[in-house]
Amino acid sequence: MNDASNLWKVTTNRFVNEKEAIMRNGNIYQISNGYMGYRGTLDEFRSEELVGITLAGIFDKVGDAWREPVNAPNGGYTEIYVDGEEVSALKTAIKTHRQTLYLKNAKFERKTTFTVKGKEVTINSERFLSIDKPNLLVIKYSFSCSADTEIIIRTGIDFNIWDLNGPHLTEVNSTVSRDVLVVDAKTHEAGIPLAVAEAIDMNFGAEKHINEKNRILREINLKAEAGKTYSFNKYSAVFKGQDTPDNNVKKAADDLVNEAKNAGYDECLKAHNIKWQKRWELCDVIIDGDKEAQLALRYSIFQLLIVAPVKGSSNSIPARALSGQVYKGAIFWDTEMFMFPFFVHTYPEVAIELLRYRINTLDGARRKAQSEGPGYRGAFYAWESQETGDEACTYFNIGDPITKRNLRTHFRDRQVHISGDVAIAQWEYFKMTGDDSLLLEGGAEVILECARFYYSYAYFKKNKNRYEVLDVVGPDEYHENVHNNAFTNMVVKVTFEVAIATVYYLKSKYPDELKKLIDKIKISDEIDGFREASDLIYLPEPDPETGVIEQFDAYYKLEDVSREELKKRIIHPDEYMGAGQGIAVQTQIIKQADVIMMMNIFKNRFSREIKKANWEYYEPRTEHGSSLSACAYAMVAADIGKTDYAYNYFLKTAKLDIEAKYKVYVGTIFMGGSHPAANGGAWMTAVFGFAGLSADAEKVTINPNMYKKWKSLTFNLIYKGDSYSLTVTGKNVVVRAMKSNRAGRLFSVNGKTIECQPGQELNFKY
């Protein structure tokens, strides 16, 4: 499928007219700009082909169905008729077809030659979602015929919308104003106004307007001359109520498409390309010696960049990005643990938006703590979080394909590690950047409220003089309601530590702000308790003989069966292995990295020997039923010298979305869509795993674990506001500091530490 000689594009030269293939291609070739995503579908496709323009930060609920993000009407719709016959990849004979996604600037292109009534008709179109004007979609469409032909072009806005649990738009109106097509509506639940406008730049044919079948279209008739190429440009804008101070979304959309039309396609593309060039200058990773890995990694980075929230939006990144409405468009722990590290190391201004999202949804986390249990206090962040931070996850979250019954899961009420994941990310940003503004803006409040939640949740066992964390679900979701999950207990301990460090920092630098915060949330009596709980929290210890840490209390008592043997027990290919009666529940087979996740995230707390013992124990018992799992095993494998295993798991992670071979259903739930957490995991495996990079408040540390096939690995780093380029080989590490850097920073390579001054290049040999 991929042109391996060109490491900046993904392309296919065939069209498969099957529903699942169209769905998967829609994911692979999607474009996005952080404001909205446009699935990689063809111009003539409709809602039946899962055309989706998914908007960030706006959700709607219809009846008793799940709340989910809103899809906008499709302002990119175009269909063509040749001698009265509709031309479509779904029904017309195709002579040649090519579609391409350009990674350098997130531009989608298709070129299809059809055979219609003995004539050849070639359609060529390209589109991009502007990152210069995030509300804007721009399209260039052209066609040519092998013989003189009667052509009808119908292009405009299709408001037959693909929804999983819709329809989400009501009071839908379609109008024409000053030759601009406009569709406006309101969301079903909150009445948020939404408008889509479309303008066209065309210099041929006679035009009339058609408003039928939930489409408002321009119909252009012409007699096309043989061999002549006819082109036109389309400009479509989407605005929702939050985008305008006066809710006049129709005017805003109308104004933008006219502005874009006046500028022209080339100028719009130029402004878009300039900003994409900056993104790649910051974020590209270059692998010398492995084209397959290079393309897969670059595609993964691309997937993260296209969903980077718009500056000032305070939006986060959903677990399925903006590829559709799967997972309710919700924000999970994936964002902090798997996507945030990429941004905070390369593109901190995006990391700020992710953290501000959690600050802005703190009240939702407080409401959840109050509603989910007796006496819980502080912030219990939603497992599935939408715009307010209130819990979107249901108690019955998965359908059983065998019995057709909904299964009770405890993702919502027992995956308590989410609050610590959020708090730790707030502190990590401060450590990496030195910027304390977010702590004062609300990050410190988030941290203290998360620690307060754990202080109310943890159980003090007097006879053992320790705090325990009972009745939880760890990252391994196959086993629910377990006690003292090692990962969760470690997250709780570190959250207490972070809370104490936050208080200490504010006390030393901003004592008045600290006092205001303590008075505001009335937490002074609990801070001393955080110190005690941090010291006395129970952490399962490695077995003195094997070095293995038991994943949770009584895990060893479960049936020790191989993955292969367990899979023989599967009755239905889509059945879920966890929940109450799943086939994995009474076994040691786990869904994804759990203890290994702990040893990856908190790597400096464990020796190489302990990591090795646990990797070798849990790897054969891990089913990898989550896209988050492979990268954790890859990074720990690199850390312990198992670089061949690390490479295989790296490729599994990095190629997940570019190949789109993932499961489409879990139980009865449709799960098709992209996996930005895995994309973040691919970057982390390359930079944290093979390059061996880690950073804290004092220095940047590099302990390389290079894969033998790679000649070098080059990447960029922003640390404490300063910029660096690093190249790692099997023999040396080169650190280049930008001349514009403000100060010298400590770099340590395999134990040798040097301060790197602005404009300096250091060459560490090892």
Please identify every residue annotated as catalytic.
Answer: 477
Identify the H or E element spanning 755.
Answer: strand 752-756
Which residue type, as a one-letter code, is found at position 77? Y
Using the CB atoms, write b or e for 235-257: b if 16+ within 10 Å. Answer: bbbbbbbebbeebebbbbbbebb
- Angle among Cα 315, 318, 321 to the nearest 5 degrees reads 105
If you search the block for the tokens 């367990």, which residue do you land on? 566
- Angle among Cα 451, 453, 454 to the nearest 5 degrees reads 65
Paired with 562 in beta bridges are none
- Asked if 232 contacts 141 with a C-beta cutoff of 8 angstroms, the reply is yes
Sheet holding 93-102, edge to edge: 9-12, 93-102, 107-116, 119-129, 136-145, 230-240, 193-201, 180-187, 169-177
Identify the H or E element spanning 301.
Answer: helix 291-306
Paired with 122 in beta bridges are 113, 144
- Asked if 392 contacts 400 with a C-beta cutoff of 8 angstroms, the reply is no
Total residue count of the chain as it appears in this document: 766
**Cβ count near 30 (within 10 Å):** 28
Tell me the C-alpha distance between 551 and 618, whole Å.
9
Residue 766 to residues 700, 734, 746, Cα–Cα distance (Å): 17, 11, 18
If you search the block for the tokens 């293995």, which residue do you land on? 548
Contacts of 420 (CB under 8 A, 6+ apart): 450, 454, 491, 492, 494, 495
Q: Where are the beta strands (DSSP E) in 709-751?
A: 712-719, 722-728, 732-737, 745-749
If you search the block for the tokens 């962040």, which residue do you land on? 381
Tell me the C-alpha distance between 230 and 232, whole Å.
7
Tell me the C-alpha distance between 738 and 723, whole Å.
6
